[in-house]
Amino acid sequence: MITDFVFTSQSVTEGHPDRLCDTISDAIVDAFLRQDPTSRITAECALSKSVLFLAARFASEAIVDVPEIARSAIKRVGYRPKDFNAAECTVVISQIEQSKTPREMNFSCVEDEEIDRITVSHQTTVFGYACRHTPELMPLPITLANRLARQLSKTRRHADIDYLSPDCTTQVGVEFTNDSPSRIDSITLIIGCNDPDAPPAFAQMEEDLLHHVINPVFLEASIKPDNMTRITINPDGPFMRSGPSAHSGMTGRKTDSDTYGSFARHCGSALSGKGPSRIDRVGAYAARYAAKNIVAAGLAQQCEVQLSYSIGFPGPVSVYLTTKGTGIIDDHEIRKRLLRHFDFRLGSIVRDLELRELTQKYDGVFYQKLPVNGHFGANGLPLPWEKTDKAGLLAE
Amino acid sequence: MDSDTPDNKPQDYLLIVHDRVPGRTRLKVPGLYRNDRMRADLESRLTVLDEIRLVQANTLTGNLLVEYVASRNTREMPASIAQLLETELGCPIIRHTESIDRPPKKAIGQKPKKARRKPEVTQYQAQPLQLWHTLTGVRAINFLQGNEEGLAQEVAAQRLVKYGANLLSEQAGRSALQLFLGQFVSAPVAMLGVSAVISLATGGAADAVVIVTVVLVNSVIGFVTEKSAEKTINALGHTAPETTIVIRGGKKQQISMSEVALGDLLALAPGSYIPADARLLESHRLTVDESPLTGESLPASKNFDYLGEEDTALGDRQNMVYMGTAVTGGNGRAIVVATGRNTEIGKIQDLVGVTKTPVTPMQKQIDEMGLQLALLSSGICVLVFFVGLLRGRPLPEMLMSAISLAVAAVPEGLPTVATSTLALGINNMKRRKVLVRQLPAVENLGSVQVICLDKTGTLTLNQMSVVMLQTLQSSIKVKEDDFYQRNVKVDPYQSDETLRRMMEVLALCNESAPTKGGDKGLQGSPTENALLQVAIDAGEDIPILREHRPTLKVDYRAEDHPYMVTVHALEDGQFFTAVKGSPSEVLELCRQGSVNGHLEILSEKQRKAILTWNERLGADALRVLGVAYCITEEVAGYKRQGLVWLGLVGMEDVIRPGMEELIAQFHDAGIETVMITGDQSSTAFSVGKRLGLNGVQGKPLEIIDSGHLEKLDPSVLAGLVDRTTIFSRVSPAHKLLIVEALQRSGKIVAMTGDGINDGPALKAANIGITLGEKGTDAARSVADVILEDDDLKTMVTAIREGRTIYDNIRKSLHYLLSTNLSEIEVMLFSAALGGMEILNPMQLLWINLITDIFPALALALDPPEVDVLKRPPRDPNAAIVSRSDYAKLIRESGIITAGTLGVYGYSRLRYGPGQAAGTNAFMSLALAQLLHAYRCRSEHTSIFDSQNRPPNRYLDTATGLSALLQVLAVALPPLRRLLRLNPIGAIDMMAIVAGAGLPLLANEAIKGINKNTFNQDNEK
């Protein structure tokens, strides 16, 4: 078995069209949940040049000015008006209003037998993963790539680097020795240039990015870049055109960096743009919750939980997990404990993690922060599925 | 002197050579060169004037130097001198930067003017011909001897006498005689003429008389129908307003369009129709729709300051406004410089001369088809002729018979039927309050695939009322003039200082005014009225408030800034700026917020809350405005200082009753509905849902939301519009883009609109619809259809009529073609058979006369079929007679022919070949053709299910009369002799009835079978 290797994960910043579409979709989810927590909402969007296509299906008491939500999400990213103007872009929406089903109700105090009647509406197999690479129990490569992306956005907003466009990509290669991260192999930053007329000098750019982006990210990291770490910044020169005017975007195309950076398996379906009654979203959260608690309980170095759902059933038709031989006890035993303490039925997940109430709890802004800040891992957001409150129960 | 005339045309004006030095002007005078007598004359006359210091005319240079007492404030020569010079020398004074309009006619200067003019013009003096756009406003006033106050009433009257009324020459249509003679200039008539000559030559005087009678009868009928059709069609489009507003003697007054005189002052305001060519004296953001003149669909912006060159193109003369155009935005004042035939549009009309009745695409198609059919039937006639000759028939007889067949077979009635059906339809619609302005609109009405509906004013009543006030602190509901906070009635002036301010802003930053007389009526737009009304209800005394805070500056809501700003003087010398408009845009201008009268810096949270409120109010289908103010030291200080947020005002526009049913009717008729609104999309969604725009099946509502459609590539938009049902946040200017995009995607588009900005879109749409009362002059002048009763529901009538007219033309066509074909077939058979021909030329002409015209016209009057509004619109590209139609025509005519030949065969067996058999065939064919008219009434229903179709009295009468004539033909001996008929017996009669009736039954049965199989196919 090969245990020494390099693993790379990549991420994009908030202005990347795919990421923007995710953010807009989740902003719409938030807008509906804010007015009516029992809303069912699915919002998908695609972006090309200055046209935003939006499809929203909903069952809700709320009435939302969807284009306005989209525009303000675009505006927050802060493209140069010349590249992409929130006020001037055209929004094409297709709205389908549906009627509510038993899934769209207040779950906060339902009884168990009622939860049994709440079946899932989509078939899916979702995965959750956790490992000991970082304190938040996430794989190291994606954590670093996401941090770099966030730091780039932060730098653009706060530091005086006006050539940085909101649309950049990052990649981090981590060298693994004996299956655990040992050093940083490479860092790649592709920077969109905000002002094509005055591209920054390369040396200037390198210095700025090292100073404002790379160094702050690795300041507190346990593994820092060494002399041998290959740092690549725009090998093909700065991208003169970036953002939606240069390439198109679509909801759910960045599930890789939304989840574990391909270090573990992830379900192909999008997380963003789906309300809490969609099992393909909340199932992924529940699986992560389970995996993280197993690792936090000290039962294994890493753990991948798989949940399979079938239409018409309230809970998973299959619960599987693997610790890839790192468990201190047998995987069967871990699964036994897991099933004892975790309830993976849709209704229970939504009820226990309070997924319907989060938006109102955080002033109407919750889900829309996830695409940029990451759905998993610590990122300053109080994500209920990142709690390790059941670790104690599992450890017993 | 470098300022000589550029070419060697004789100078016919006084050119100011030099007037830089105050009190001295040097002019070049035509005819003064080497003319001592003129010099003495000029000098003696001018020195009489008091203002003159010195006059010196130089006969060597041709220049006149005048020194005079210069007034301080103007460099110009005193008016008295100028006037004297101009009257004395009979030509105007101009500066060398100014130009005079010289009509580029060669004849000028050689012939006296009177000889060139048409008689009706000579009674009036020629209007001064200046290139007015090269003159400054002041000079223009001087030339016209007008003043800033406008003409005095008497002067205006004198001028009307002198220069004539402000009327365009009425376009002369074809005269009655021309129209009548036109009936004879056609191929069939010429052929008939030839056959009449042949008849005379071969001794058939009676035949010749019959032929001439046929020609005359045909012509009279053609003349009568065409005359009335032409009258109707030429009356289209005459909807220019009849009155206009001018300033006379310092007062605005409404006068008739024809009374506008040279020198009248026009007050230009949005929507006003410009009654004559005029030079602008003042303008503010003035834009004019000049499409009638230049064809440019986008409004042209105007500026009184502009000075043009001699050769500046008409469309670029920014300081001029022209007759027939309409103001789309801004305001201004202008002095009339040309009226009536002397205006630019008058000149164009003179050029065009006699107008022709416009021809629609369908008419063209029919004309082309008519020509092809004429060629085809001529070919067949030639064939019949030669076959007959080969069979050994005498040449003259064969010639006669071939020509008669040609006359009978050529569907010469086609164009007449189409034109008169269109005209009848127009009259019919007029009775139902649908005014059609363009002939092609009639057939387009039948093929409309998409109808774009303006939400405001069309789908809604356009009566706004404020229902909600939302300040940072409280939210107040307004119900029937009362204010409620949390269901408790409150006095807004007591409860909240912010509300008080808000009412002030709403009252000041407002375009409407209370009507004089103290009643509750308000003059202004619905929104403005609603806002003013809420201030009045709150207890604001509008006249007093406005008196205390006089308005200094008004910045209207425009395309690029969706808010209105007014600046008012405060008593303490500061300035009060009032702002209202799009909440998000106004909020962006704000730095502070007012909480119960105290100012606070707006926090991010408050901004968010305001936007959330805005969203919620909007979600209730309210129109929401943001209100803000500030107090500054300078007039324009608000731009820098940032405003104080007061709150949101929510207004509601009530949906008209019956609109939901109307939308459903459109959908039933296969017409897509598109709503266009400036509202935000949640409002649009809520209204769209209430109206049922998504159809009965509840399709997704596709909304395009864009305030900047112009940024979108037109081809992208065309790709997007296909399924879109709502356009939200769209400004009126974008309607044009929407229409064009829909048309690009291959749709026939109808568009409603009544605003001044709607002109271009209405013009571009296949059917521009405007509502009668409310439509502005600008909209009315370009619309194709005006719904006079102001009710969109009438549009359904219009579409039904449009479809019916097209259907009816097709029915007439079908009838004419199938019956003519049957005649050809009978004659072909007869020729092939040889021997005595089945029908003689007289009989053919007779059939042509009684069966072609009246039933075809009666079919054109067929009432709408029951399912006419349940069918999808016709394919605009489909031919009016399709390939499958031709197959049907041949089948049906074949059946009729078979019936006739059956009767002929029976009679021939009984009587042998001869007149008796021919008589029976003749009777049977004529009656079968008449009966066939009932087959042509519908493609969907037959005589077997007559309960499904409304009766057509005209057709019953027409066929009844024709049948009577047909019976008279055998019953009256003289007619019988003329047509060479035999009397018929009872058995013959039964045979004839069977020969005529059975084809109808057969054809109708086939229709029924086809329909059933078709339905089964559909069900599969």
Structure tokens at B524: 């202004």
Contacts of B547 (CB under 8 A, 6+ apart): none
Residue A293 lies in a domain: yes
Is beta strand B277-289 parallel, antiparallel or unpaired with respect to B300-301?
antiparallel
Instruction: Using the predicted structure, report yes or no on whether residue B424 has a pLDDT greater than 90.
Output: no
Mean of pLDDT values over B829-851: 78
Is beta strand B726-728 parallel, antiparallel or unpaired with respect to B672-676?
parallel
Range of B174-188, B259-273, B738-752 with top mean pLDDT = B738-752
Instruction: Using the predicted structure, report yes or no on whether residue A192 has a pLDDT greater than 80.
Output: yes
H or E stretch at B666: helix B659-668
Shortest distance, CA B286 to any CA of chain A (angstroms): 26
| E strand segments, B775-834 | 785-787
What integer pLDDT is reported at residue B1017 of this predicted model?
A: 46
Q: Are A88 and B729 inside 8 Å of each other by CB? A: no
Q: What sign results for the dihedral spanned by CA atoms A323, A324, A330, A335?
A: positive
Q: Which is higher by pLDDT, B188 or A20?
A: A20
Worst-scoring range by mean pLDDT, A36-40, A104-108, B442-446, B803-807? Answer: A104-108
Residue A303 lies in a domain: yes
Q: Which is higher by pLDDT, B875 or B185?
A: B875
Q: Are A91 and B706 inside 8 Å of each other by CB? A: yes
Worst-scoring range by mean pLDDT, A132-136, A280-284, B96-100? Answer: B96-100
Give chain B's radius of gyration (CA, Å): 38
Contacts of B713 in chain A (CB under 8 A): 49
Mean of pLDDT values over A72-76: 92
User: Which ranges in chain B are annotated with CATH 3.30.70.100?
Assistant: 14-147
Instruction: Using the predicted structure, report yes or no on whether residue B100 has a pLDDT greater than 60.
Output: no
Please state, in angstroms and rounded to a whole number, the distance separating the CA atoms of residues A97 and B694. Answer: 11
- Whether A151 and A209 map to the same domain: the answer is yes
Instruction: Using the predicted structure, report yes or no on whether residue A138 has a pLDDT greater than 60.
Output: yes
Please state, in angstroms and rounded to a whole number, the distance separating the CA atoms of residues B218 and B212. Answer: 10
Domain that holds residue A47: 17-97
- Whether A295 and A391 map to the same domain: the answer is yes
The domain covering B463-549+585-634+644-651 belongs, at the CATH homologous superfamily level, to: Calcium-transporting ATPase, cytoplasmic domain N (3.40.1110.10)
- Whether A125 and A201 map to the same domain: the answer is no
Instruction: Using the predicted structure, report yes or no on whether residue B102 has a pLDDT greater than 70.
Output: no
Cα angle A7, A13, A14; round to 5: 145
Mean of pLDDT values over A328-334: 94
- Whether A294 and A339 map to the same domain: the answer is yes
User: Which ranges in chain B are annotated with CATH 3.40.50.1000?
Assistant: 427-458+655-798
Given A209, A226, A245, the domain boundary residue is A245
User: Which ranges in chain B are annotated with CATH 2.70.150.10?
Assistant: 243-352
Please state, in angstroms and rounded to a whole number, the distance separating the CA atoms of residues B891 and B947. Answer: 26
CATH code for the domain of A43: 3.30.300.10
Shortest distance, CA A303 to any CA of chain B (angstroms): 42
Instruction: Using the predicted structure, report yes or no on whether residue B172 has a pLDDT greater than 60.
Output: no
- Whether A116 and A77 map to the same domain: the answer is no
Strand order in the sheet with A169-177: A5-12, A169-177, A180-190, A230-233
CATH of domain B14-147: 3.30.70.100
Shortest distance, CA B681 to any CA of chain A (angstroms): 6
Of B584, B686, B700, the CB nearest to A96: B700
Instruction: Using the predicted structure, report yes or no on whether residue A284 has a pLDDT greater than 90.
Output: yes
Mean of pLDDT values over B256-276: 84
Of B700, B720, B729, the CB nearest to A95: B700
Q: Are A91 and B705 inside 8 Å of each other by CB? A: yes
Range of A20-29, B1-10, B803-812 with top mean pLDDT = A20-29
Shortest distance, CA A119 to any CA of chain B (angstroms): 26
pLDDT band at B95 (very low <50, low <70, confident <90, very high): low
Structure tokens at B303: 């500026």
DSSP string, B40-96: HHHHHHHHTSTTEEEEEEETTTTEEEEEE---SS--SPPHHHHHHHHHHHTS-EEET
Mean of pLDDT values over B424-441: 83
What integer pLDDT is reported at residue B109 of this predicted model?
A: 39
Search chain B and give the residue with CA nearest A87: B707
Query: What is the architecture, at CATH level 2, of domain B427-458+655-798?
Result: 3-Layer(aba) Sandwich (3.40)
What integer pLDDT is reported at residue B110 of this predicted model?
A: 39
pLDDT band at A363 (very low <50, low <70, confident <90, very high): confident
Burial of A210 (0-12, 13-18, 19+ CB in 10 A): middle
What integer pLDDT is reported at residue A250 of this predicted model?
A: 95
Please state, in angstroms and rounded to a whole number, the distance separating the CA atoms of residues B698 and B692. Answer: 8
Please state, in angstroms and rounded to a whole number, the distance separating the CA atoms of residues A251 and A43. Answer: 9
What integer pLDDT is reported at residue B480 of this predicted model?
A: 67
- The 3-state DSSP class for residue B286 equals strand
What integer pLDDT is reported at residue B235 of this predicted model?
A: 64
Structure tokens at B1004: 């109708």
Per residue in B312-335, pLDDT (tens digit) is 777 788 888 888 788 877 888 888
What integer pLDDT is reported at residue B92 of this predicted model?
A: 66
In chain A, how many H helices and how many E strands?
13, 11
Residue A29 lies in a domain: yes
- Whether A261 and A197 map to the same domain: the answer is no
Complex-level ipTM: 0.85
Contacts of B618 in chain A (CB under 8 A): 65
B454 is catalytic: yes
Is beta strand A51-59 parallel, antiparallel or unpaired with respect to A90-97?
parallel
Q: Are B709 and A90 inside 8 Å of each other by CB? A: yes
> Number of residue pairs across A and B with CB atoms under 8 Å?
91
Owner of token pair 């007054």:
B253
Instruction: Using the predicted structure, report yes or no on whether residue B113 has a pLDDT greater than 50.
Output: no
Instruction: Using the predicted structure, report yes or no on whether residue B355 has a pLDDT greater than 60.
Output: no
What integer pLDDT is reported at residue B1 of this predicted model?
A: 40
Burial of B733 (0-12, 13-18, 19+ CB in 10 A): middle
Shortest CA distance to B344 belongs to which of B320, B373, B371? B320
What integer pLDDT is reported at residue B130 of this predicted model?
A: 66
Shortest distance, CA B722 to any CA of chain A (angstroms): 12
Instruction: Using the predicted structure, report yes or no on whether residue B103 has a pLDDT greater than 50.
Output: no
Contacts of A30 in chain B (CB under 8 A): none
Worst-scoring range by mean pLDDT, A220-224, B51-55, B104-108, B171-175? Answer: B104-108
Per residue in A83-95, pLDDT (tens digit) is 888 888 889 998 8
Contacts of A95 in chain B (CB under 8 A): 685, 700-703
Please state, in angstroms and rounded to a whole number, the distance separating the CA atoms of residues B852 and B846. Answer: 10
Structure tokens at A145: 């790539």
Within 539-598 of B, beta carbons closer than 8 Å to A belong to: 584
Q: What sign results for the dihedral spanned by CA atoms B705, B708, B712, B716?
A: positive
Please state, in angstroms and rounded to a whole number, the distance separating the CA atoms of residues B885 and A97. Answer: 45
Instruction: Compute CA B724 distance to the chain's CA centroid, rounded to the nearest angstrom.
Output: 27
Shortest distance, CA A22 to any CA of chain B (angstroms): 20
Instruction: Using the predicted structure, report yes or no on whether residue A133 has a pLDDT greater than 70.
Output: yes
Say if CB B229 and CB B857 are below 8 A apart: no
Please state, in angstroms and rounded to a whole number, the distance separating the CA atoms of residues A303 and B524. Answer: 72
Give chain A's radius of gyration (CA, Å): 21
Q: Which of A30, A75, A95 to mutate to test the interface with B (most CBs of B within 10 A)?
A: A95
What integer pLDDT is reported at residue B358 of this predicted model?
A: 56
Of A62, A72, A93, the CB nearest to B681: A93
Q: Are B703 and A95 inside 8 Å of each other by CB? A: yes
Shortest CA distance to B958 belongs to which of B853, B883, B888? B853
Mean of pLDDT values over B800-810: 88
Q: Are A91 and B704 inside 8 Å of each other by CB? A: yes
Contacts of A51 in chain B (CB under 8 A): 712, 716, 720
pLDDT band at B296 (very low <50, low <70, confident <90, very high): low
What integer pLDDT is reported at residue B570 of this predicted model?
A: 86
Please state, in angstroms and rounded to a whole number, the distance separating the CA atoms of residues B452 and B671. Answer: 10
Say if CB B730 and CB B754 are below 8 A apart: no
Given A71, A97, A123, the domain boundary residue is A97
- Whether A291 and A352 map to the same domain: the answer is yes
Burial of B44 (0-12, 13-18, 19+ CB in 10 A): exposed
What integer pLDDT is reported at residue B121 of this predicted model?
A: 42
Please state, in angstroms and rounded to a whole number, the distance separating the CA atoms of residues B610 and B600. Answer: 14
Per residue in B21-63, pLDDT (tens digit) is 777 777 777 777 777 888 888 778 777 777 777 787 777 777 8
Contacts of B704 in chain A (CB under 8 A): 90-93
Q: Are A89 and B685 inside 8 Å of each other by CB? A: no
Percent of chain B with pLDDT over 90: 2
Per residue in B709-728, pLDDT (tens digit) is 888 888 888 888 888 889 98
Of B584, B611, B682, the CB nearest to A64: B682
What integer pLDDT is reported at residue B116 of this predicted model?
A: 38
Per residue in B883-930, pLDDT (tens digit) is 888 888 889 999 999 999 898 888 888 887 778 888 888 889 999 999
- The 3-state DSSP class for residue B889 equals helix
- Whether A280 and A381 map to the same domain: the answer is yes
Worst-scoring range by mean pLDDT, A69-73, A382-386, B501-505? Answer: B501-505
Mean of pLDDT values over A250-269: 92
Query: What is the architecture, at CATH level 2, of domain B360-426+799-1019?
Result: Up-down Bundle (1.20)
Within 675-704 of B, beta carbons closer than 8 Å to A belong to: 680-683, 685-686, 689, 698, 700-704
Contacts of A88 in chain B (CB under 8 A): 706-708, 711
- Whether A282 and A386 map to the same domain: the answer is yes
Per residue in B382-420, pLDDT (tens digit) is 887 888 788 777 777 777 777 777 767 776 667 777 777
User: Which ranges in chain B are annotated with CATH 3.40.1110.10?
Assistant: 463-549+585-634+644-651
Interface of A with B (CB under 8 A): 35, 49-51, 55, 62-68, 72, 85, 87-97, 364
pLDDT band at A33 (very low <50, low <70, confident <90, very high): very high
Within 608-637 of B, beta carbons closer than 8 Å to A belong to: 611-612, 615-616, 618-620
Percent of chain B with pLDDT over 70: 85
Percent of chain A with pLDDT over 90: 64
- Whether A180 and A211 map to the same domain: the answer is yes
Range of A9-13, B430-434, B753-757, B873-877 with top mean pLDDT = A9-13
Mean of pLDDT values over B818-825: 86
Shortest distance, CA A251 to any CA of chain B (angstroms): 19
Instruction: Using the predicted structure, report yes or no on whether residue A360 has a pLDDT greater than 70.
Output: yes
Contacts of B683 in chain A (CB under 8 A): 65
B196 to chain A, any CB pair closer than 8 A? The answer is no
Please state, in angstroms and rounded to a whole number, the distance separating the CA atoms of residues B326 and B786. Answer: 18
User: Which ranges in chain B are annotated with CATH 1.20.1110.10?
Assistant: 360-426+799-1019
Per residue in B151-166, pLDDT (tens digit) is 888 888 888 888 888 8
Which residue out of B207, B277, B289, B454 is catalytically annotated?
Answer: B454
- Whether A382 and A258 map to the same domain: the answer is yes
Q: Are B615 and A64 inside 8 Å of each other by CB? A: yes
CATH of domain B243-352: 2.70.150.10
Instruction: Using the predicted structure, report yes or no on whether residue A99 has a pLDDT greater than 80.
Output: yes
Contacts of B720 in chain A (CB under 8 A): 51, 90, 92
Structure tokens at B1019: 């069900």
User: How many domains is chain A partitioned into structurally?
Assistant: 3
Mean of pLDDT values over B823-845: 79
Say if CB B329 and CB B270 are below 8 A apart: yes
Mean of pLDDT values over A150-155: 92
Q: What is the mean pLDDT of chain B?
A: 78
Residue A80 lies in a domain: yes
Instruction: Using the predicted structure, report yes or no on whether residue B947 has a pLDDT greater than 80.
Output: no
- Whether A144 and A159 map to the same domain: the answer is yes
Residue A102 lies in a domain: no
